[in-house]
Amino acid sequence: MSVTELSARRSPPRRQRLLCGWGRTARSSCRVFEVRRAEDVLEVLAGERLPGAGVIARGAGRSYGDAAQNGGGDVLDMTKLARIISIDTERMLVRAEAGATIAQLMARLAGQGLGLPVVPGTRHVTLAGAIASDIHGKNHHCDGAFARHVASLKLCTPSAGLVEVTPESDPELFYATLGGMGLTGIILEATLLLERLASPWVSTDSDRTAGLAETLALLSGEEHHRYSVAWLDLLAGGSSMGRAIISRADPLESAQAAPPLRRRARAASDPASLTRAPRVVVPQGLPEMLHPLSVRAFNALRWRAAPRRERGRPQALAPYFFPLDALGEWNRLYGPRGLIQYQLVIPAGQESALEAVFELVQRRRVPVYLAVFKRFGAAFGGPLSFPLEGWTLALDIPAAAPGLEAALEELDGLVAGCGGRVYLTKDARLRPELLQRMYPQLDSFASVCERVDPEGVLRSDLSRRLGIGGAAR
């Protein structure tokens, strides 16, 4: 069924809303349509709108920046389109609708001894959002990003309506959609590759380092674990700056996964807990609750409380993969001005640039409240896919911090100059002139967008700001 065949039908319910990303910055007023069936998407794409207004899809709103909003235009709320359609235990495949979340998928799959090969740092991301952002986890160095495990897509494009896309049927469109920020079509369904889940546990090894030099030395060695991540303290002064808690883990086999459990630990290991609401939720309307002095003190306590060296500690999947999800709406702690999460990747072989990043953060006194450091494996995916082989650093910074924009622009230049890039799904302020240096395959992405969206219908605040997709025409 094509877009034009549905142009006369009644559009789905809509309302005007002020939207923002998880960082709570760069808000814009959008006309939001609640999607309950595939035909709703076709009807909105075929409907009338102001010139240049466009359409973009939105899931759970967990991208930090402005990728899932469209000021003055239309936004498709996909969260009601959330069925898990089928699970094939023999072929190790799951098919689900766009609005199904990572939590829903993991909980349902665990009951059949199956799991997702890659999960992000929050379980609340939708399936389509995971694909459009090509999310990554703590195991990119082993298993790549989410894109590597997508088998097929059901898309709605402005030019062709509903289409089924695989790496064989249309490789250019398929790979451009993986990490394509929703600008190649509206994802309606996807089929993912699965893996066997031995148990709802991992075995964790942890190390505490005294400063940045020790942190980098320990992380630069050969990695033998499937999962690896480091929490860095970038507010500590002097030689302690960059001290870390490094956590590495591997799946725990079922024969080993029977430690004596307290009630709370037993509940955390239950796959059903993935879909439960958190016990504690930060209320609305709070002023800024986090400040450099208090966060510095908290970081010091957290670092001292961690063991210097610990091996083989069993840990349930949910608290290991999604530690911040334990506190609902935690982004409200940053107050009404919100936060910037600046995530960069520095290519392997450019470690001097990585050290320059840390030096810049310290010299500019950027108040980094949370810093997460991971290793990336080989690149895979489309022209806008973020991961490169090397090192990725995610920095949580209060948006109201003095001098922040100048410091981030200096970081932008440093990252682009060494062949690195920033993560578009978390970005709300990058200047378009640096985009080509960070993402050198923009021309191939533009050619796919011109083919599937010749009128430039698919647009977002991000695409308009950076001049990509339909907004480039």
Which pLDDT belongs to residue 8?
45
Which pLDDT belongs to residue 161?
93
Q: What is the DSSP letter of 11?
A: P
- The CA R_g of the chain, rounded to the nearest whole Å, is 22
Mean per-residue pLDDT, 101-124: 96
Angle between helices 351-363 and 212-219 (to 10 degrees): 150
d(CA 463, CA 122): 24
Mean per-residue pLDDT, 452-461: 96
The two structure tokens encoding residue 37:
């069936």
Q: Are 105 and 118 in contact (CB under 8 A)?
A: no
Average pLDDT, the chain: 93
Is residue 459 predicted with pLDDT exceeding 80? Answer: yes
pLDDT > 90: percent of the chain: 87
Question: Regarding the domain delimited by 201-252+290-431, which CATH topology (the fold level of the hierarchy) does it fall under?
Answer: Vanillyl-alcohol Oxidase; Chain A, domain 3 (3.40.462)
Encode pLDDT of 208-265 as tens digits.
999 999 999 999 989 999 999 999 999 999 999 999 999 999 999 864 555 555 555 5
> What's the pTM value of the predicted model, to 2 decimals?
0.94
Secondary-structure breakdown of the chain: helix, strand, coil percentages, each rounded to the nearest 5: 30, 25, 40
The two structure tokens encoding residue 139:
């195991």
Which pLDDT belongs to residue 261?
54
Encode pLDDT of 14-51 as tens digits.
899 999 999 999 999 999 999 999 999 999 998 888 88
Mean per-residue pLDDT, 126-143: 97
Encode pLDDT of 168-221 as tens digits.
999 999 999 999 999 999 999 999 999 999 888 999 999 999 999 999 999 998
What would the DSSP string read from start to end of 119-166?
A: --S-TT-BHHHHHHTT---TTHHHH--GGGGEEEEEEEETTTEEEEE-
Which pLDDT belongs to residue 360?
97
pLDDT band at 12 (very low <50, low <70, confident <90, very high): confident
Is residue 6 predicted with pLDDT exceeding 50? Answer: no
Q: What is the DSSP letter of 253?
A: P
Encode pLDDT of 52-104 as tens digits.
899 999 999 999 999 999 999 999 999 999 999 999 999 999 999 999 999 99
d(CA 397, CA 400): 9
Mean per-residue pLDDT, 278-287: 94
Which pLDDT belongs to residue 471?
75
Which pLDDT belongs to residue 77?
98
The two structure tokens encoding residue 18:
């002020």
Is residue 5 predicted with pLDDT exceeding 60? Answer: no
Helices and strands (H, E) in the chain, number of each type? 14, 21
Which pLDDT belongs to residue 10?
58
Which residue is it, tokens 């930060």? 282
Which pLDDT belongs to residue 305?
97
Encode pLDDT of 310-334 as tens digits.
999 999 999 999 999 999 999 999 9
Is residue 384 predicted with pLDDT exceeding 70? Answer: yes
Alpha helices (H) along 306-378: 317-321, 351-363
Which pLDDT belongs to residue 472?
76
Which pLDDT belongs to residue 255?
46
Q: Are 98 and 127 in contact (CB under 8 A)?
A: yes
Domain boundaries, the chain: 201-252+290-431
